[in-house]
Structure 1
């Protein structure tokens, strides 16, 4: 059994790009796939948007694409490693350190267009595991960079999500595991940017 650190970025990546996941409505997904990046409207540039390298955490959040109409399309977004690193470098935790004053926290948030939090990773049944998966919330300048510079490719993986979900429902777990994206440890200074949530 592999001993996985409590907080470790795991993702599908190569030397140029790293894959993150988001779930959207048909309208946003169709526009993004047609253009190769997100289009405003319908995508809202002024809202924080969360990107997730963990496929199974995305499945938990979106219920395999069945949770609601706003998350029915699962998108795999390949972004530049440089952009991903920029996001980590310009981030702060999503919650203040207990030792911080309100003024210190407000100053840190104002200077950080990216939020980081670590939530329990999920198994095939979407139950929590002991180790955590990183969630990256981008806002302001980071959203503009994400949409206009970082994104290299967007792929609709909704059918893949549904197929794995069906395998899990039929208790064909070995096949379901074999169908998952292969996520490897991603060595980055960003893994030190947050406290446990």
Structure 2
């Protein structure tokens, strides 16, 4: 896969962290239960993102309505790779995409200030047929990053991007199995 399309993530030998932005109601219920529960919807696709900065761009650093809370979702690498093994690119065959359990799209990665960078970040849409598996089998921990996000956003706004950098999760290239790499590669 071209280096501009590598997955960059926070991961260890067993798990990977993906990020999601939620309303306070969804985040609070999930954090209380230690897992996703109502009002989280098990009937629609949920998008997970291993790029923290891409989600910060998307949620405007947790300032967009319905995206005021940022959760780090630690999931098994086995689940992550199982999802990617079923993925269809959103830019590919639309008939295959309509039937796919998982959607993958590549969007320009973002800087702390939201500028598009010259490499891409993956977004993974887990379809409703896999949502329960994602929530009940693959997710191993939920962490509220909202206070950290707010502090980093404030530092960046005040010109302290270097200080804010220390608050950002570490991300490095995720080593994909070759068959999954081929499946999600942009042509």
TM-score interval (norm. to shorter): over 0.9
TM-score by length of 1: 0.88
In the alignment, is the contact (CA less than 8 A) between 2:89 and 2:97 conserved in 1?
no
Q: 1:192 to 1:33 in 2, by over 3 A?
A: same
Structure 1 distance, partners of 2:95, 2:58, is 28
Q: CA deviation at 1:109?
A: 3.5
Q: How do 1:155-174 and structure 2 match up within 5 A?
A: 155-174=143-162
Q: CA deviation at 1:184?
A: 0.9
In the alignment, is the contact (CA less than 8 A) between 1:117 and 1:196 conserved in 2?
no
User: Runs of 5+ in structure 2 lacking a partner?
Assistant: none
Q: How do 1:26-65 and structure 2 match up within 5 A?
A: 26-39=24-37, 41-65=38-62
User: Runs of 5+ in structure 1 lacking a partner?
Assistant: 98-104
In the alignment, is the contact (CA less than 8 A) between 2:104 and 2:123 conserved in 1?
yes
In the alignment, is the contact (CA less than 8 A) between 2:84 and 2:184 conserved in 1?
no
Q: CA deviation at 1:38?
A: 0.8
In structure 2, the residue matched to 1:101 is none
The answer to whether structure 1 residue 194 and structure 2 residue 184 are counterparts is yes
Structure 1 distance, partners of 2:78, 2:41, is 23
Q: CA deviation at 1:35?
A: 1.1
In structure 1, the residue matched to 2:3 is 5
Residue of 95, 118, 130 corresponding to 1:106: 95
Return structure 1 stretches of 4+ with deviation > 2 angstroms: 189-197
| SS class of match (1:116) | strand
Structure 2 distance, partners of 1:77, 1:107, is 28
Residue of 72, 77, 81 corresponding to 1:81: 77
The structure whose Rg is larger is 1
How many residue pairs align between the two structures?
184
Structure 2 distance, partners of 1:115, 1:91, is 5
Structure 1 distance, partners of 2:85, 2:186, is 18
In structure 2, the residue matched to 1:185 is 173
Q: CA RMSD in A?
A: 1.6
